[in-house]
């Protein structure tokens, strides 16, 4: 398949085999009709974009039963509160007349702060069930995909936006040219388009291939974002690395020549050059590292099984779907996954069908080992799971490499 952005042909350096929809936790009766797609990631050496070769239709992924609620993690709630304060302090000089749009506003985790402060805002959230939760928090939201047409409707009803923001959403949207056209319509002359997503640099450095799944059609770098939105009269004037999702980048864009380009952009471009994010060889080497990670992980789990240990999963993340299916790990090696999301509990993990149990049973079941699927929340989880280590429990990690932690390992926290 040619590049979604610039239509040039691309190189396919990494194949992960058949994958189910990462966030479609299912009941036993639905096993037979489960949908799979061949998952491979490609690199476009023209616009430097790293992207999925094939992606299921959006309706398959973001449905009424979509099980991702941003507000399940305390650290994410804090993160979005800080994001809202940052916008208010630095980018909205006239609060009374400000208008903020969020693309993919989920359960209102960020926009609720604008609702509370009575600042005009609008969430554009395609999944009706999560949009409904945001409305209960007083957030003004519509259930739509963002496009040129949606932008035109919003402009007509509310006027131009001072900020168009999104978090963990741009990497989900295959037709970014349509988003670029929409932003061009809706953004004020001096407005800021700001978004953050998992960062390709972190994925390459940490072999965190679990960031690759159906929803993440792109993993961005500064170079690729500049190329993608440069086609729509926008330029990156500032970037800020974020700790969220195991390493993300926040990109600030404006209309060309409206703001000075900050040093953060040139610095990050240098980092990307060092990492080789513009070279196909980098992605071939990454593919090899994924294979090694898989072999080490499976060998460890098999050994623990032989030793008669009780091994479970901690947090049924979307990311875990890639790991489990790529490694071929089912309930024989990981007997269940504990998760706090009621919508996932009592169901089975996509593809490998590991039972999802309510987190309430984690402590009673006293597993010997727990695979830290939500490794991106390690600090928060270690903080609240001291008791687990107390009864002799051990964490299994697979990022940046496969290993067992017998304590709150600061080296591990540093490495991720």
Residues contributing to the site for ligand TYD (CB under 6 A): 68, 72-73, 315-319, 339-341, 344, 359, 374, 376-377, 380-381
Q: At closest approach, how far in Å is the CB of 239 from ligand TYD?
A: 22
| Six token digits for residue 340 | 């706090």
**Alpha helices, DSSP H, located in 260-317:** 263-275, 280-306
Q: At closest approach, how far in Å is the CB of 319 from ligand TYD?
A: 4
Q: At closest approach, how far in Å is the CB of 245 from ligand TYD?
A: 7
| Six token digits for residue 404 | 């067992």
Q: Smaller CB distance to ligand TYD: residue 294 or 344?
A: 344
Phi, psi (deg, nearest 5) at residue 253: -120, 150
Q: Smaller CB distance to ligand TYD: residue 180 or 367?
A: 367
Q: At closest approach, how far in Å is the CB of 375 from ligand TYD?
A: 8
- Residue reference for tokens 């790293």: 50
Helix (H) or strand (E) holding 396: strand 394-397
- By DSSP bridging, strand 394-397 and strand 403-405 are antiparallel
Length of the chain: 416
- 198: which strand partners? 248
Q: Smaller CB distance to ligand TYD: residue 68 or 297?
A: 68
Burial group, residue 28, by CB count within 10 angstroms (0-12, 13-18, 19+):
exposed
Residue 407 is given by DSSP the state: S
- 236: which strand partners? 253
| Six token digits for residue 310 | 């009780």
CB 39 within 8 A of CB 54: yes
Q: Smaller CB distance to ligand TYD: residue 175 or 380?
A: 380
Task: Give the whole-angstrom CA distance, residue 304 versus residue 295.
Answer: 14
CB 351 within 8 A of CB 19: yes
Q: At closest approach, how far in Å is the CB of 107 from ligand TYD?
A: 12
Q: Smaller CB distance to ligand TYD: residue 227 or 318?
A: 318
CB 139 within 8 A of CB 105: yes
- 118: which strand partners? none
Q: Smaller CB distance to ligand TYD: residue 240 or 380?
A: 380
Q: Smaller CB distance to ligand TYD: residue 121 or 347?
A: 347
Q: Smaller CB distance to ligand TYD: residue 103 or 163?
A: 103
Task: Give the whole-angstrom CA distance, residue 364 versus residue 344.
Answer: 20
Q: At closest approach, how far in Å is the CB of 43 from ligand TYD?
A: 23
Q: At closest approach, how far in Å is the CB of 378 from ligand TYD?
A: 9
Rounded-to-5 percentages of helix, strand, coil across the chain: 40, 25, 35
Q: Smaller CB distance to ligand TYD: residue 169 or 236?
A: 169
Q: At closest approach, how far in Å is the CB of 166 from ligand TYD?
A: 15
Q: Smaller CB distance to ligand TYD: residue 237 or 369?
A: 369
Burial group, residue 129, by CB count within 10 angstroms (0-12, 13-18, 19+):
middle
CB 338 within 8 A of CB 403: no
Q: At closest approach, how far in Å is the CB of 32 from ligand TYD?
A: 25
Q: At closest approach, how far in Å is the CB of 20 from ligand TYD?
A: 14
- Residue reference for tokens 């991106």: 376
Q: At closest approach, how far in Å is the CB of 403 from ligand TYD?
A: 19
Q: Smaller CB distance to ligand TYD: residue 24 or 232?
A: 24
| Six token digits for residue 362 | 């984690």
């Amino acid at each position: 398949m040619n590049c979604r952005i610039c239509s040039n042909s691309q190189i396919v350096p990494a194949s992960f085999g058949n994958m189910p929809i990462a966030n479609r936790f299912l009941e036993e009766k639905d096993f037979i009709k489960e949908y799979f797609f061949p998952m491979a990631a490609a690199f476009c050496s023209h616009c430097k974009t790293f992207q999925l070769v094939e992606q299921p239709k959006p309706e398959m992924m973001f449905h009424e039963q979509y099980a991702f609620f941003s507000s399940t993690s305390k650290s994410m709630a804090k993160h979005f509160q800080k994001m809202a304060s940052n916008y208010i302090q630095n980018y909205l000089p006239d609060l009374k007349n400000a208008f903020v749009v969020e693309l993919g506003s989920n359960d209102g985790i960020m926009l609720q702060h604008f609702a509370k402060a009575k600042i005009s805002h609008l969430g554009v959230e395609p999944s009706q069930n999560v949009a409904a939760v945001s409305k209960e928090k007083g957030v003004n939201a519509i259930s739509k995909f963002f496009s040129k047409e949606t932008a035109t409707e919003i402009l007509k009803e509310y006027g131009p936006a001072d900020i168009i923001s999104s978090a963990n959403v741009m990497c989900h949207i295959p037709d970014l040219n349509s988003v670029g056209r929409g932003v061009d319509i809706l953004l004020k002359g001096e407005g800021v388009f700001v978004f953050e997503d998992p960062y390709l640099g972190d994925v390459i450095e940490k072999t965190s291939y679990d960031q690759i799944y159906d929803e993440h059609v792109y993993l961005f770098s500064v170079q690729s974002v500049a190329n993608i939105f440069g086609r729509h009269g926008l330029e990156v004037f500032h970037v800020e690395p974020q700790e969220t999702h195991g390493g993300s980048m926040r990109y600030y864009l404006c209309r060309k020549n409206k703001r000075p380009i900050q040093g953060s952009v040139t610095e990050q471009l240098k980092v990307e050059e060092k990492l080789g994010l513009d070279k196909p060889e980098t992605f071939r080497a990454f593919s090899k590292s994924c294979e090694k990670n898989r072999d080490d992980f499976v060998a460890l789990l098999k050994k623990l099984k032989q030793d008669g240990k009780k091994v479970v999963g901690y947090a049924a993340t979307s990311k875990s779907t890639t790991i489990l299916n790529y490694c071929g790990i089912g309930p024989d090696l990981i007997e269940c996954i504990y998760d706090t999301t009621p919508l996932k509990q009592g169901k089975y993990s996509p593809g490998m069908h590991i039972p999802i149990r309510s987190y309430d049973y984690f402590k009673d079941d006293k597993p010997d080992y727990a695979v830290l699927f939500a490794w991106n929340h390690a600090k928060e989880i270690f903080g609240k799971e001291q008791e687990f280590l107390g009864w002799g429990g051990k964490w299994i990690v697979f990022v940046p490499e496969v290993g067992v932690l017998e304590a709150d390992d600061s080296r591990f926290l540093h490495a991720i």
